[in-house]
A and B are shown apart, each in its own frame.
Chain A
Amino acid sequence: MTTRIDTRFAELKKQGRAAFVTYVMAGDPDLTTSLEIVKALPKAGSDVIELGIPFTDPMADGPSIQAAGLRALKGGMTLKKTLQLVRDFRKDDNVTPLVLMGYYNPIYIYGVDKFLADARTSGVDGLIIVDLPPEEDDELCIPALKAGLNFIRLATPTTDDKRLPAVLTNTSGFVYYVSIAGITGAAAADANAVGEAVARIKRHTKLPICVGFGIRTPEAARAIAEKANGSVVGTALVDALKNSLDAEGRATAKTVNAVAELTAALAQGVRGAKQASE
């Protein structure tokens, strides 16, 4: 089964450039603004969209993304509305890959089968679920693959060569390499160390490898894009959004542009990268 993710990475390979992957939180700071932001991302140069599912207890996220989730929840965001947001986005855009990223509990409570059916019809292409390691593949990973969604796994600096095959077995779409042992928004990774890690993972898989955590600037995004098949930026975009809000945490006239402008600058960085030979 070919998804929008597979198609997009095949195109980028032909163009000889890395992907720019953007993360924003669904419903941050409200549903309407969030939809406008998601619509603006591809126009500003995002190749793949990761859309966060808000959760009260995001144990792998730093303060910025924690706060984004709480803003969204305060604004009444739910998983059901997140799927509606994707459906609305798909009315105008049927090509940009969209991945939902979050934690398992909201999906478990929604009901796995119903969630997968609704995600598929809404236009979701893949899932990144932080607290579902390969040891829990029966929960969601296997059913998601059967439903035609990509299940994108995280590999980390602690995932050694012995463990990599287990991590990669049911992974599809791309591999998300977490560049540091840590939470989102933490210190930046060293591009050379990332390059070595990507080369190591490449020995085990033909899937594209995107790298995230700690990438905040166009320069950093470019440096990583020279070592991998994609750079992922999340916290920096979430911070740009937050800095555009009013004192009560509500969207202002600047909010959508604040995210779009940073996206455009970061996309320029990624596009300036010399793609490493495969």
Chain B
Amino acid sequence: MKKTKRVLSLALALLLGAAVISGCATKSAAPADTTAAPAAAAGEAPAASQAAPADTQAAAPAAPEVGSGEEPEVVGATVEAVPVIPGAYTGVVRDVVNVGISGDVGDWNPFIFGTPTAELALQGMYQYLAYNFNGQLYPCLMKEYSFSDDGLTIYGELFDYIHDSAGNPLTAADVAWSYQMNVDMGGTGIGDVVQECVATGDYTFEFHLKEKLQVGRLDKICKFYIVTKAAYEASKDEMHTTPVGTGPYKLVEYTSGSTIKYEATGNYWQTDPQYITRCDQSNVNNINYYIISESSQRAIALQNGTIDMCMEVANEDLKTFESSDKYRVYPLISNYNIIVAPNCDASKLTADVNLRLAICYAISSEAILESVFAGNGNVNHEMSPSWAAGYLPQWDGEENYYLYDPAKAAEYLAKSSYNGEELTILCNTTEDQTNTAQLIMSFLSAVGIKSTMLALEDTSYRDYLKVADKWDIALRLAGTNTYYLDFIYGEMSKAKSKMEGTWNFAIDDELQDLINFTVLQENATPENIEKLHEYLIEHCYQYSTVNYMEYKVVPEWVSGVSLSMGKIIVPGGCVYTQQ
């Protein structure tokens, strides 16, 4: 027995030792060199002014030149953003690049609503009519467009030499057909503004609109994939696994859940460099995507060279890459904001605006940013982040957006009808959200509001969101799509929530009228936007806390990073310095 014990303790000691060694050895990594001079923000060279004939009609009155605002400073190694229209490529054409991504595409059919990762991988394969970068349209398949006088018809014209990777020519009939397929298969969200799309000639077509366009809508009309009917019908399974698009790449190998391999077609239809955006370049011949679901695994794969670049690197893994000259870190402000939404249903305590204000003042967005996102991002001064088109610059200086103030929170709490009831904070099970929720709980308890949290996996979470009596405060990720008003419309309008009020049960006809009025192109003046902004702050239906950063890591032999509309790396558009 004694012997056994000795062996036992030896084994235990060994195991402990191994654990500690494998753990401690990693702590030597030097802290990030955050003092490095911010690289010159390359900015979106608005090549469009000469290169985009699409701009015959200004897309949005409220669209400022936000280029320099969007491209963030680069910490650590320098890497530039590729301009939207980079012109003829002068870098090295690389043979292979391996990219780590977090999720699978699932379905390659161009007309099915996809996951965010789907957009990522479909990039370079399927194409849109036009791209929208910072409120400006850049042509892709569509050469020109114009509006009718009443604003209810859009006339579009295609380039007349488009063909897909299988060689089928693409005509206006394919556009109309692709549009109809999108509507039939459901989901792109253009069906509620567009009546129909008809081909009026070989290369001309018209969109007939149901109503006059709202700000930020034009790009959405352009945002559906177009493929040739011939290729679609030739596909044995409706392109679910055998996609054929007009883009510069084609799919050569797909192992569901594991790898996606692309190859440049070599005969991309567009040859005029002034029309090729960074999304449609093919500066690398083969792109291999590796699906790695765990964030730490992606970082490890980057470190040991299994993958060259990765779009989703977690804050906690950044150190390694920032301190090494083998990598360049490309930080980018994400489209997503963490929204705290009190339940405004009449049956709830939070229907009381004073309690809502108390909650908002009790929460420090600064602290959420510092702890959950390691300080990487911005605190919002409005529902939307400041880089959105139509955001008024004076808001940044205003101090009325629920700046952390426990005294004020206590004041509002005293005025409210809060009775000590425990409020349920509903959130997703992602780490960002659960951590934010825990912080909020501690902030609330500091002012005397009791709370508990309910973390659910995504699908159940979305289901619970729709039921008023399941929660009191909800956390939600809300993505902006370039335009301030579009963001407010998406978050607040009842047309979007498909309910009687906002998605968090605030039934307010005045708000709905105000939104519907302001969102129209002719009404979107700074004065009206200011009015909407003040109304929102006063009623405190939702509180947008943090707009966080996302990090992309590329190897040192990438000198320019190309980003898609959804702000993901387009490997084909990057600038390479090594074969």
| A and B bind | no
Which residues of A approach B to under 8 Å, CB–CB? none
Which residues of B approach A to under 8 Å, CB–CB? none
